[in-house]
Structures are given as structure tokens and as C-alpha cells.
Amino acid sequence: MSDISLLTLIVVSGILLSLNPFSIAVFSALLAGALGKGHPKSVFHTIAMSYLISYAALLTFFGMALVGIFSLLPYTFLLSLSLAISVISIFWGIVTIANFFWYGTFDDVPKSIYNVLHKYSVKKNSPGSAAYLGLIAASSSFVSNTIMILSFVTIVSLLKTGSPSWMLLLAIILIIPLIIILISCLNGTKISTILKWKEDSKAIMRLSSGLTYILIGWIILLILNGTIGSIL
């Protein structure tokens, strides 16, 4: 797999996975809280960017650290671990699809962090609280984020690209929808309109996420058997 092919995979898959009802709901709540407090535009920008930078930084750091760790693993162990990660990615994709279409809906924001969300998006709406909320958001979606990052780290490691900068690219792509939401909000779009779009679209978001996880897991299997790229 060439760098162009890997770039295409990360961009396309990242965009599909970035359309996440959870992250959209959390960021929209943050913006609504900032608007409700009547902050000046400069403070509003700072609050939003504090969240985005913190969210992306945590994902980037986690991904880069894993790239470094994977580069130190014995070859045979890396192959076994990659096989396990591909199976987990495929399984998580199936669960993501099944949870919505077979077992009913579930909350976009887990109840376990709802109070934290309310506290740091409404009660303490400031750049500092926004940065903390960004870290909480990245940590709260730990399962899906971990599987996603592990899968991309596995692909990068198997293809021997070795560059942790791919993880920075992935993190940037994952916040693109949030940046678009911020720009739309600054241009006069109401938060209620954004939340309605999220509600109307979350079925297809979950479907596309589930299919993407399955695709990524399948690509890892194809790399392992030599169909894609070379791991020698």
C-alpha cells in the first residue's frame, strides 16, 4: 500500500468515523452554554478552540505513543496482536450496527458523564473548562476511540511506514465536523438546528461507523495475508 493509498484510507475512514453523535452532542452543548452566557466573540472562540485542541491532542498523543510501542514489539507478537485487533474491529463494527438496528436506540451521551457535561459546558463555561471537557469527551468515548486508533496504528505498523504523523492527521480529521459546526454557529446557525440534524442523521452515522470498523478490520486481515502491501 502506497502512502497515497494510506492517506486516502485515513481521510475517508476518518471522515466517516468523525460523524459521531456523541462528540457532536457534547460540542453542541458546549457552544450552547457559551452562547447562553453571552461571552464576547473572542472568548467564545477561545472556549471552542480549547475544546478542539484538547480533544485532538489527547487522540494524537495516544496514537503516537502506540506507534512507538508497536515499533518495539517482536515481529511474531505484532502479527498475533494485529490479528486480534482486526477481529475486535470487525466485532465492534457489528455491535455498533446491531445495537441500533436490532436492540433499539441508546443515549448519545452516557449517563455516567451527563452531569460532568452539564457542569463544564453550562455551569463553568470557560476556556479551562472547555479544555477539560475535551479531555473528558475523548476519554468517555474510550472504547470506540481506542479500537479506532489501535486499528490505524496496526495498519501503519504493519506497512512499516513508522511515522507517528499519521495519527496527527487522523486526529485533525476527527474534529473537522466540529469545526464545521463552529463555523456554522458563528454564521448564525442555531444550535437547535444542528441538534435536529444530528438526531435526523444519527442512524446513518452509526451505520457508516459500523461498516467502517468492519472495513478497517478486513483491511488489516488483507495486509496480514499479503494481499495488500508488504509486511516483510
14-18, 31-35, 198-202: lowest mean pLDDT where?
A: 31-35
11-25, 68-82, 196-210, 217-231: lowest mean pLDDT where?
A: 217-231
Mean confidence (pLDDT) of the chain:
79
Q: 118 falls in which pLDDT band (50, 70, 90)?
A: low
> What was the pLDDT predicted at 219?
92
| SS3 per-residue string spanning the chain | CCHHHHHHHHHHHHHHHHCCHHHHHHHHHHHHHHHHCCCCHHHHHHHHHHHHHHHHHHHHHHHHHHHHHHHCCCHHHHHHHHHHHHHHHHHHHHHHHHHHHCCCCCCCCCHHHHHHHHHHHHHCCCHHHHHHHHHHHHHHCHHHHHHHHHHHHHHHHHCCCCCCHHHHHHHHHHCHHHHHHHHHHHCCCCHHHHHHHHHHHHHHHHHHHHHHHHHHHHHHHHHHCCCCCCCC
Cα separation, 108 vs 87, whole angstroms: 25
Per-residue DSSP letter, 42: H
Looking at the predicted structure, is the pLDDT value of residue 125 above 50? Answer: yes
